[in-house]
């Protein structure tokens, strides 16, 4: 849903204007007002038209408030869902200690893997902006049990490809801890 504008109001208003104007009471009264030339009936028609205008505005307001309440309810449910984490405070502190043992390059490595999932080892090395420290960073992250190597057969020829990925035991907590990081060492 975009910003509310006058044109979006008119579109929403027009949706209900036709319904209000063609309602059961407005059509017969409008026909009587056209056929009769007495001022009280013309006044009645004017009052009816204003009533339809007010009712149509009410319908637009009613629908927008209902839509807003549904959105808020959905967001509240999402907030409650996000409050429940798949780890406890002790697991969080453990992950913080493990992250604290890494260099900045190692922390960038974790962030990269969190955002790119399992990555082939050579590709990961190519993405590293400071190659001399790459092996040390990957080994420290491995020693801390934050990342793990995996292998997959190479299709069509003998051999295996080597990959690195975040340890699933720490995936959720690391996602929460990584937040917005100004990554320097990986692109």
Write a three-state SS string for 29-96.
HHHHHHHCCCHHHHHHHHHHHHHHHHHHHHHHHHHHHHHHHHHHHHHHHHHHHHHCCCCCHHHHHHHH
**Is beta strand 147-153 parallel, antiparallel or unpaired with respect to 119-120?**
unpaired
Terminal C-alpha separation, the chain:
33
Average pLDDT per consecutive 10 residues, the chain (187 residues; last block may be shorter): 74 67 60 71 73 75 87 89 81 94 94 93 92 93 96 91 95 87 85
pLDDT at 149: 96
Sheet architecture: strand order including 147-153: 119-120, 160-166, 147-153
pLDDT at 44: 74
pLDDT tens digits for 112-135? Answer: 999 999 999 999 999 998 889 999
Strand partners, 131: none
Answer yes or no: are the C-beta atoms of 86 and 168 closer than 8 Å. Answer: no
């Amino acid at each position: 849903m975009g910003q509310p504008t006058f044109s979006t109001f008119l579109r929403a208003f027009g949706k209900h204007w036709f319904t209000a104007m063609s309602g059961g009471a407005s059509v017969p009264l409008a026909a009587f007002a056209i056929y009769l030339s007495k001022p009280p009936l013309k006044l009645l028609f004017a009052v009816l038209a204003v009533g339809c205008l007010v009712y149509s505005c009410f319908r637009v307001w009613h629908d927008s408030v209902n839509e807003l309440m549904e959105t808020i309810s959905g967001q509240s449910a999402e907030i409650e869902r996000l409050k429940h984490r798949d780890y406890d405070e002790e697991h969080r502190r453990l992950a913080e200690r493990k992250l604290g043992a890494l260099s900045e390059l190692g922390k960038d490595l974790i962030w990269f893997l969190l955002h790119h999932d399992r990555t082939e080892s050579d590709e990961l090395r190519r993405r590293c902006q400071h190659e001399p420290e790459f092996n040390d960073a990957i080994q420290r992250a491995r020693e801390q049990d934050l990342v793990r190597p995996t292998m997959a057969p190479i299709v069509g020829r003998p051999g295996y490809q080597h990959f690195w990925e975040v340890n699933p035991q720490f995936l959720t907590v690391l996602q929460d801890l990584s937040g917005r990081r100004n990554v320097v060492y990986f692109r």
